[in-house]
Amino acid sequence: MSGLLAGDTALVTGAASGIGNAIVIALAMEGARVVATDVDAPRGEAAAAELTDAGHDVRFMQADLALPDGADALIARVTADAGPVSVFVHSASPPRREADTIFAVDDTTWNRMLDVNLHAGFILARECSREMIARAIKGRMLFITSLHAGSPRNLPHYSAAKAGQTMLMKELARALGPHGIRVNAIAPGAIPGGGFDAKAAGLERLARCTSLRRLGTPAEIAGMAVALLADRFSAYVTGTTVVVDGGIALHNWIEPPET
């Protein structure tokens, strides 16, 4: 199969829905072998089966990255079943609610958000990079972060996790660059699906606060993911966050005026 990522083996977390699922589709269509993983087994298996039926090489592995050994167990299974990973995309993140303010977030919710986003992201990136270096693979990694990494709001656990991911991405890019491994991030804007409930956040209000006057789609994030993971377009890009937000960050989108 030809394509921008032909010959690559990709691991994508948070792959059952939303942005993660769109990235799985995009990578598969570009010729990559994809291991899709998510805590939601029924949706993940159904999504992978649909791609397999269409002739793509996609397999699903259920994993709960909030568990203490979740990330270690996952990478061991992936390596045993699919071989070394050359592309790693970390899109997994627990759902968040607009009501998750500083006094509403309990310890369990806080820990799960950081465990999935940050701790699991570090473990998976570290173990993937060990195999990449050992096998001289010019690997690529991508973290799906958020505008909230730099713009605080009433989601302290989510904002803190994404800010941590952003710095982790930079540390990985600096450490792994000499081995030819590129590490970047995408900060999406308002993209319905997955962990983001656009209706609860105020769909019409958010659209009005976006320069393009509409919300984005998971497929639009996936298109940028392909561009950052394909050496044809981004061979000299590492350690950076690409914002894909329709211009929402140009406006007062966190607490916009009522008018």
Kindly list the domain boundaries of the chain, sorted by start residue: 9-250
Residue 227 has pLDDT above 60, yes or no: yes
- State the average pLDDT over residues 70-81: 97
**At what angle are helices 18-29 and 41-53 packed, to 10 degrees?**
20
Per-residue tokens: 225:
């993911």
- State the average pLDDT over residues 212-227: 95
Q: CA end-to-end span of the chain, whole Å?
A: 53
Q: Which residue has the higher pLDDT, 254 or 39?
A: 39
- Kindly indicate the confidence band of residue 100, based on its pLDDT and cuts at 50, 70 and 90: confident
- Kindly indicate the confidence band of residue 259, based on its pLDDT and cuts at 50, 70 and 90: very low
Q: Which residue has the higher pLDDT, 252 or 146?
A: 146
Residue 63 has pLDDT above 90, yes or no: yes
Q: Give the pLDDT confidence score for residue 207 in this predicted structure.
A: 83
What lies within 8 Å, CB to CB, of 170 at 6+ separation is 239
- Residues 184-206 have pLDDT tens digits of 999 999 888 755 655 655 777 78
Alpha-helical runs (H) found in the chain: 18-29, 41-53, 70-82, 107-114, 120-134, 156-176, 198-201, 203-208, 218-229, 231-234
Q: Which residue has the higher pLDDT, 255 or 5?
A: 5
CATH number of 9-250: 3.40.50.720
Which active-site residues does the annotation give?
158
The SS3 call for residue 56 is: coil
- Residues 17-52 have pLDDT tens digits of 999 999 999 999 999 999 999 999 999 999 999 999
Nearest CA to 229 out of 164, 181, 178 is that of 181
Q: Give the pLDDT confidence score for residue 197 in this predicted structure.
A: 58
Residue 98 has pLDDT above 80, yes or no: no
Q: Give the pLDDT confidence score for residue 205 in this predicted structure.
A: 79
